[in-house]
Each structure stands twice: as C-alpha cells, then as structure tokens.
Chain A
C-alpha cells in the first residue's frame, strides 16, 4: 500500500466520523447518513484499486477512471454550490424578518402638528 492511499483513507474515515456525529434532525437526515457511508465505502475501494474506476469508466464510454472522477466532481460541485446559494437566500430572508421585527418594535411616531 502506498503512503498516499493510507493518507486518503484516513481522511475519508475522519470525514465520515465528523459527518455522522453532526447533530441535526435525526430522522430527516437518516438517508443522507446512509449516503455518506456508501460514499466512503466506494471511496476506499477506489483508493485501494484505482484501476477498477477505469473499468467503470469504459462502461460509460470514458477513457480513464480519473476523467470519470473529474466529471463526477464537477457535477457534485455544481449541486453543492446551488444548494449553498439556496440556503443562503433562505437565511437572508429570515435575517430580513428578524431585522423587520426589531424595526417595527422601535418605530417612532411624529409629534402631532
């Protein structure tokens, strides 16, 4: 086993522990956690037998396993960016509502003339 493989597997496992320990609403996130585990298992397999990704790549008409990984990464990155953007917009709206509540509580009425 190469040193790089040890390093990659260690960081993937660390990521798994970190993600599974994050305490969000348990039920709704259950499928996401199953996804993490599957992702980590596939990751470790690909690290140990890198040539097998090339076999999968050939199935879908891509020359090298590395290229397939890159394409998957680009798609995943685009989805992550979009979902972060949506989340950000949601939080912005909550922030606006909070600021509005504060503003309405401290409204000033002009002196009657």
Chain B
C-alpha cells in the first residue's frame, strides 16, 4: 500500500532520519517503535507532508507521491490522528466530522449548508464503524475517549487508505483503549493500512501485526510481532538490554531517628470538589508512591501540596513545625519541588533555552538580586544534561525543539538543580519511552538515597509498586489506605477496588 524508501531528513544540529524504510500493507496494523528522539514523529511528519524529506521516496499504491501539506496528504489518502484530539470543542460531532467539506443545498434552495445531510452522513459513517455516538452533541462535552474515536472517524471519512495514529492511547484508560482497538480492527478488515505509534508495549502485541523499529533516526528492522518478543523489541529499540530499576530491601529508607519525624506532612487537607480531607506524610529518603485510578484525586493532591491551588482546610508542617504554604513561591522556599503532569502547559517555557529552563526554579528560589551568572547556569545545566542523558544539540537550544522525553528530563533537572528536600513527581514517565523511563526511575531512586523525600505519582501501578517504599492509595478523591514496602500490584488493585466489593 505505502512504501517509504531511504527517507532522510536533517534539522540544524540533528540528523533526525537517515535512510529509513517503512512498508505498510493493506489490512494490517503496523507499529512504529522507538525511543524518544528516535525519529518517529519526524517520519510521520514526512509522510503527512509537514516536512519534505531531504532524500528518499514515498510510493502509494505503486505511484511515487510527494505530500506537500497535511491537506495534500489527506487528498492522497494519508490521514493522521495525533496524541491530543483535534476536534473543535464548540462544534457538534457531525459538524466536526464533515468540517471542510459540508454538503451544500442546491442553488435553487439557497446554496447553504445542508445540516440534515451533514448529520445523516456523520451518523452513517459512525454506524459503519460501529461507534455509538449522538452526532448532534458538542464535541467538547464528550469524554476524551469518544473524542478520540470521533477523530479517527473523521480521519477515515475522507476515504483514507493509510491511517496514522500517533500515540492515540496515552490519555485513555483500559476500556477506552479497547474501544479504540475494536475500531482499528474494523478499519483493518476494511483494507485500511494503519500505522500505530505508542509507548505501550502490551498494546503493540495486542493489536499490531508487524512493526518497524527506529533508533537514533536509523532503521533497525521490520519484524512480525509474533517473531519478536517484548524483550527483543526493547533491546532493538535501546540497542542494549535494559535493567529494571528495583527497590531492594537493602536500599530501603534509613531507619534512624531522623526518619521518625516526617520531613513534610499535611493534615486534614481538602479542597471543595477536588479532594476530601486527608493526611499525608513524607519521610526523609523514602519514595512514597501515590496510586489510584484516573479521577481519584492524584493530581489534585499534588497541586494542593505545592500550593498551586488554594486549599480549603489543612495544616502543613515541615520537620514537625507548622509552616505557611500559600503559593508556589512558599513551597519553593521550603525546599519543595514539583514536576507537573502537563509538561507543555505548565512545565516548559518553550522559547527559552534548555539552560534557562533548568536554571529557572533555582533562580526563582534565590530571588531577583542573587543572579546566577550565565557561566554558572551553564555549569549547572551541563552537569545535569550529562547526568540525566538529555539529548539536545546544545544547552542553548530552545527547549521546545527537544523531543517529549528529553523535555521531561529537563524539567526534572530543573528541580534537581534546587536540591529539593521534597520532590513531587506527577506522572514523570508519561509519554516517554522504556529506556528513558528506566533512567528516570533510577534517578528517582538515586535521589531518595541522597535523602530527598519523593512523592511518585503514576497511573501505571506496576511502576509505583516497583519504586515505592510505601504506597498511598487514593480512591474517590480521598485516601483509601496505605501499603507497606514490598506490597505487590494485586494489593494495590484490591485496595482500589475495596469499595466496590464492600
């Protein structure tokens, strides 16, 4: 169906792709795998006409094509769905699906848009794909998962022969992922060639037939999913075997007296509609895991702890002494750090360089007058870039040009630079690849060994279980319970489910 040969593309300072091959077959789901910065996004942008390749050719149904823009690519039959859904929230589902090619009434009847026909077409399309959805509803009011399905429907409404999905599942929960996969299988059976990009290995094996692996912009190989197991796949992506971070009993939290007094404690903390009153304590040198389902109050708790939102009730104490914590600047002064979940919106300042992004929190803590000289900022940034393995052309590169995982590492670096006593990490591993994830988790353990109290929040419960000394489980916006070191995933799951059993 589609064959890309020998694709190369360079950016200033980076060879993003060199000699990459990709073959998509009709009626097949094909996975595109690789670490952050391996060149997956660039390849997709070449296929959809966002970037022109420096070298190489693309063949569609045996004909050489050169997509010039996403719209041109769509006319050729190549549609793409991106990580965040791109529906217009203030239009109905039907309007979204038909956007740009609304059916018109005959000139004799005024030539306006035929809304009834619009809805009929949308309904027909969704029914054909087995999606149950009210097409008159506003798209913005739909849950993320249904929006994602509608986006896919819109992409195939143009008779797409090739459908590209760039991390479509990263914001979906398990049931929603299943609904998406059902849709993908339907499309596959209709003869659409699907390219699927994800960081979730299990999903690859669940839905894909074949995969292409990239590493550092180079083509590693094409494999049938049945022939390459997860271990082999990771090795292909990383180029070496990965050692999983594991909290061993020997490296547990120091058992001295200092550990007895919590370095940070919140008592009776709550905010209307977001968190019901609960207590939480962090001790020196421990990783406290925070587990819970989507909407259980994980992020809300983190934001309250860092005073990003105002709490209605709750007393905060540091080293057993009550403290004032009313705004992020107070939190910073107390030695807290916070890596937010939404990297683009509240993490990076895209236009500023990697150096400035790393120096920002430390400088904010030092205040206006104690200015870090550029040379000092460089020193700090250089050290952290090397320590965390951040891939960037230079520390003066605007951070917005880095790949997602490297941006995330840079934000972690920002907080490491402040030598925090308490570090809150909200979904630090989201959207980053296996190897980067491991490096980051190792870094977190290293940090705890150095005496920092870490609050680790993740939707992936196996991750929480692996790195945490203690686990606090949230349910329905409050604490459901606490689990000691060595608890396994089942214990967490049963605590989450406890209320449903009772």
Are A and B bound to each other? no
